[in-house]
Amino acid sequence: MKKIHYKLIFSVLEILSSKNSLTRADICDHLKISKAYLSQIISNRYLIKNQIFSKRIKKWQKMQQLH
């Protein structure tokens, strides 16, 4: 399995945010990656968001315990 690089994730996100009419096939052709790899990148995007969100919740909980 290929290692996913953050630069590639951000380039996919940039393409997705800039043009709404692109299909996954267009993105795969543009980045020269497979559809399965693109799906893995997109799912990792959600994992990254969830990790950031859970860190914020933990920080908030610590702050509440201190007060």
Tens-digit pLDDT profile for residues 34-56: 888 777 777 776 666 666 667 76
Direct distance between the N- and C-terminal alpha carbons of the chain, in angstroms, rounded to an integer: 46
CB 10 within 8 A of CB 22: no
In a domain, 13, yes or no: yes
Q: How many distinct structural domains can be found in the chain?
A: 1
Say if residue 32's pLDDT is above 50.
Answer: yes
Domain at 27, CATH number: 1.10.10
In a domain, 23, yes or no: yes
Say if residue 9's pLDDT is above 60.
Answer: yes
Check residue 19 and give its pLDDT: 65
- Which residue has better confidence, 6 or 31? 31
Is the pTM here over 0.85, yes or no? Answer: no
In a domain, 57, yes or no: yes
In a domain, 41, yes or no: yes
In a domain, 1, yes or no: no
Residue 11, C-beta contacts closer than 8 angstroms, at least 6 positions apart: 31
Domain around 25? 6-66
